Amino acid sequence: MSAPLQVYEPFTAGLPPLIRYWKSLWSRRTFISEYSRSELREQHFDSVFGQLWLVLNPLLLSAVYFLLIVIIGGASDATRYAHLTATLFLFYLVANSLTGGVKSITAGQRLILNTAFPRIMLPISAVVIAVFKFLPTLVVFLIIRTIVGLPFSWQMLWAFPVLLIAMLLALGLAITISCINVYFRDIASFLPYLTRSLLYLSPILYEASALKPKLMALEVLNPLFPILDSWSRVLVHGQAPQVSSLLAGLAWAIGVFLIGTYFFLSREREFAVRL
């Protein structure tokens, strides 16, 4: 009996059959959950001290930044600290998604070379891990908010759609940067400077209302700006977010997700060669 004939076809950029692709992705949702949990266990976040550090790290950073604000500004208050903590925690959800997503494809080289599965599962798992890391910090912020005596209101329920928009943006960024890193490996070394720049250009160390008119371009060019502003209005001030900010954040999130996903899916079949 003759050996089976194997034909190697050249790669051509293009989308796979989307319906079959998404069905395959959905059927592996349990794997995504377990893979994310295994990555968290590898980082020791299943232990008490691992979860404690998960909260202490951004909390200590918020304390350092608040001290910097007091030194530079001369004075501050509890509301300012609550704003800094709330926005910093949400910022780290996006930053951790980028950090985990940038090497999600290159780090999964053996899995990609030996198993057939939708590659987009890997950056999705990175975002799931970032969400798991974010949830304990949200509980800590609510405790801080109670301690400083900020009032609660029904308007705070707007936090759910704002959080969903932030997660969609984080997912789009993680998918995009994971694909870029396959072709340009130096992007991983540049990422810390990018995230630090985003931190300073976003309304975290300051509130959006305090931004000078000459710097309003930051609000237009920074996808995190309207999301963090809405997050602060909702959770810190107990107000409904501005419709314009909510729509701008949603437009950024959908745009980045669609463009990043198209770029990823159209190049996915070449990853094994590039790795």
When divided into structural domains, the chain yields a total of 1
Task: List the domain range (segments joined by +) for residue 140.
Answer: 77-274
Q: Is residue 29 part of a domain?
A: no
Q: Is residue 32 part of a domain?
A: no
Q: Is residue 239 part of a domain?
A: yes
Q: Is residue 269 part of a domain?
A: yes
Rounded CA-CA distance 160/219 in Å is: 22
Q: Which residues contact 66 (CB under 8 A, 6 or more apart)?
A: 76, 80, 81, 84
Q: Is residue 13 part of a domain?
A: no
Q: Is residue 216 part of a domain?
A: yes
pTM of the model: 0.86
Encode burial over 130-159: b for 16+ CB neighbours within 10 A, e otherwise: bbbbbeebeebbeebbeeeebeeeeebebb
- pLDDT at position 5 over 70: no
Confidence band (pLDDT; 50, 70, 90) for 55?
confident
- Chain segment 105-133, per-residue pLDDT in tens: 887 777 777 777 788 888 999 999 899 88
- Chain segment 198-208, per-residue pLDDT in tens: 888 888 888 87
Q: Is residue 142 part of a domain?
A: yes
Q: Is residue 203 part of a domain?
A: yes
